[in-house]
Chains A and B, each alone.
Chain A
């Protein structure tokens, strides 16, 4: 019986762990995606606003490289959001023309997924030709830190829930097996051995019916 209980518990354990771990991951994944979507949408909005200003200036005949007032706008937007590493305006060859970080001006923008998550919006002139791009770089370590802070309590709760669920499942198996065993091991004597208590009633009933018919048949033979 102990071995059976162990086997049942071992069979149930992976199911309980997998279900709860996947459930926790679904919850975490949903919040993580919502957070990243929110941040992405926010960065896109910032990039669109900068692009819109640049396009207005382009429509007035001011080339992208000559839009010196962009620098102030970029610095102001960056300062408003601590998650933003830099906001750059790049030409079609990815050379940084304007940036909230003056050290980056003149360098080539090279995306690095381990450092930043980049969101870009194209800057188009009146003829719909792409003149450049606004690149908003969000701090990847900053994003990861926020997500880790959010994940910690979820996983802690999930681990506690898994442990408690495993203990309760084990108790359920032991209790269920005890009930089952109690049901089949309460015995009573049959013709040639012990049978479970509940099984005798039907046997006794058939035996009685058979005996009555046998007696009648014997009686009629005697007559």
Chain B
């Protein structure tokens, strides 16, 4: 992270935290003014109701001290009214004869000092035989608002992550990129890093400074190369050794693998767009459920899964073809078209009046999503070479990961507080923001009318899958991983948690753990698996851990079991995603050398994406036919079995040596 970003982020954190604290403080004061009188009245009504009940019992001839079950009645009252601190029945002398959440033997005086109390007499035939006392804690308003702290914390986190994305985007402006480019050069030289930077162009004093620094770096590198040549020609091993030491320290012969600075521009629209889609994760299945009506031959679970399955199938099937189409039309223009399509889809979904319109509008959104994904990926691929493509794609993938982290909790909060339709409209607004960002930053791209519109052929899929190692990697690991992600995490869990009475905000916080785990684990694993050449192990361990994740559902109460399961799936898939992607290239080069890397990855993405459509369909089918437990166990079993089969297949052939893979 750049120093400037840190400064701004630090300021924004303090400003937002302080402002939210002030708003919460005022809310507590307002709540006290409104809630305390309301609570007093409620306590009064409850006390009168209890007094009437107790009076009735005493009227039947039961002495107040002999009433059986008084404690239980009061406990029920407190469980129905959690705002109350205690409730007690006292006799005419003021001694407690029944109470909840207090000492039976003690008096009410100590409690009355700690809390406000409401007292109602128990009157029988005109005589007061006892009292009902209900206690209200003084800090009830703070307690009510304290429950909000998780939502406020999530809000703060998401605001900061969005701020960071927008700062990066703002720095893609011509002047800003010169400023940042110069700062980047300065920081690199401060770290003794003499690798050359991409030229920035432009005019003015800043551009002049950038060009001078670049020329200085080029001069030093040129002089180093000349000295190396002279030392080699002279056979001066001491000089060569010294020059190599200088090179190691100042990186004088190495190249920079950073993606060009203008590529950062594509990240903001991608982030905003995927943020919009991820927002719907916590409530989409229950929203579909509200439209679902039985269809002959299909269980209700299958009916609910239909829009999700169709959405994912469109994304999977459209992607291979869309690559050529977006190249022909221009990546930036295609991205903007995709954002507009999704905008229409979200508005339509918000106002859908039945299952069929819902499916139609979700399908429109799916086409938009596939178009944006392929256009953004293509934009990066078109502007990077083999050396910096992995970093460029990393920029794009990390934008999606951050969106996966931010979207579900905010979507859940919005759906919970403003309603699902409003949350979809916010998604539409985010698409509009993504469109505007793309319009500003990606306006200069050129269409390529001669680009080939390809796709993935059956022959290519067949040639890849006939090798056991490739079959078990793609169908055994990649496919079930996506099946588990969409089928279990994004279909089964939101629906089952919603049925169990959890609100969308809670479901959103559960689902955000997947994005959180991926954001943290993927960068660590990329390096570890590359350095140690342990990609097969990472893929197998990832698959086994993913499969075992569902055990949390049966070990812990909801929603903690679901949260731990999602977190473990996130960690497990974080472990396996990057090594799996790298292994496709390596194993493919060994076992299917006739296929280009592009075609190989096309087959991989197609099979992997198919899992996103097959997963919810299989879970829904099994759920309807045999119950939810069978469904999740079956899908988890498939993931673990696939990993085990891949391990066996990999043992059959030796593990390939690690090599850099562009599409990682």
Contacts and interface: CB of A to CB of B under 8 A. Distances in A.
A154 B15 CA distance: 18
B653 interface: no
Given A146-B34, A184-B183, A206-B220, A7 B170 contact: yes
A102 interface: no
A155 to B, nearest CB: 9
A214 B246 CA distance: 13
A210 B173 contact: no
Contacts of B144: 30-31, 34
A210 B44 CA distance: 90
A42 interface: yes
Given A8-B170, A38-B83, A202-B192, A217 B231 contact: yes
Interface residues of A, number: 83
Contact of A7 (B30, B83, B176): B176
B507 interface: no
A161 interface: yes
A24 B27 CA distance: 8
Interface string A178-212: 01110111010011111110110111001101100
B166 to A, nearest CB: 4
A15 B166 contact: yes
Most chain A beta-carbon contacts within 10 A, residue among B12, B16, B19, B52: B19
B413 A202 contact: no
A57 B147 CA distance: 43
A11 B167 contact: yes
A143 to B, nearest CB: 10
Contact of B45 (A8, A22, A46, A165): A46
B242 A213 contact: yes
Contact of B159 (A15, A45, A213): A15
A11 B182 contact: no
Interface residues on B, range: 35 or more
Interface stretch (B150-158, B396-404, B574-582): B150-158
B26 to A, nearest CB: 4
Given A11-B167, A34-B35, A192-B215, A19 B250 contact: no
Contact of A217 (B176, B182, B223, B239): B239
28 contacts: A1-B175, A7-B176, A11-B169, A19-B156, A20-B20, A22-B413, A34-B144, A48-B49, A81-B41, A153-B30, A154-B27, A169-B11, A169-B15, A176-B7, A184-B209, A191-B216, A193-B208, A196-B209, A202-B189, A206-B246, A206-B252, A207-B220, A209-B246, A214-B230, A217-B227, A217-B230, A217-B234, A220-B236
Interface of B: 3-4, 7-8, 11-12, 15-16, 19-20, 22-24, 26-27, 29-31, 33-35, 38-39, 41-42, 44-46, 48-49, 52, 80-81, 83, 141, 144-145, 147-148, 151-152, 155-156, 158-159, 162-163, 166-167, 169-170, 173, 175-176, 179, 182-183, 185-186, 189-190, 192, 194, 205-206, 208-209, 211-213, 215-216, 219-220, 223-224, 227, 230-231, 234, 236, 239, 242-243, 246, 250, 252, 413-414, 417-418
